[in-house]
Amino acid sequence: MCKWKGGDLVDISVGDVLVMKKQHPGCGSDRMKVLRVGADFKLTCAGCGRTFMIARSKCEKSIKLVLRGEDKEN
Ligand SMILES: [Zn+2]
């Protein structure tokens, strides 16, 4: 498992699942799947399926954990 707790840079790739520090308002899920990376990340909420763009720097501060590959759930 690729664990990451703020501070260190991590290469986030399409398909990674991010566990966020804050739950998504409304649905309560703290997991976001990465759809696109760049200056902004495009994420989809694992709970409600909503997609949204978030600035990379802002997103990185909000990440608690990165789940990747075989450790990915679902
Ligand atoms: Zn949601």
pTM, entire model = 0.78
The alpha carbon of 52 and the centre of ligand 1 are apart by a number of angstroms equal to 10
The alpha carbon of 68 and the centre of ligand 1 are apart by a number of angstroms equal to 20
The alpha carbon of 29 and the centre of ligand 1 are apart by a number of angstroms equal to 6
Per-residue pLDDT of the chain (74 residues; tens, 9 = 90+): 455 555 455 678 999 999 999 999 989 999 999 999 999 999 999 999 999 999 998 988 899 999 987 554 55
pLDDT at 1: 45
The alpha carbon of 31 and the centre of ligand 1 are apart by a number of angstroms equal to 8
Domain ranges of the chain: 17-71
Beta bridge partners of 63: 20
Tell the residue number behind the tokens 């409304």, with chain if given.
Answer: 26
**CA 68 – CA 14 distance, rounded (Å):** 10
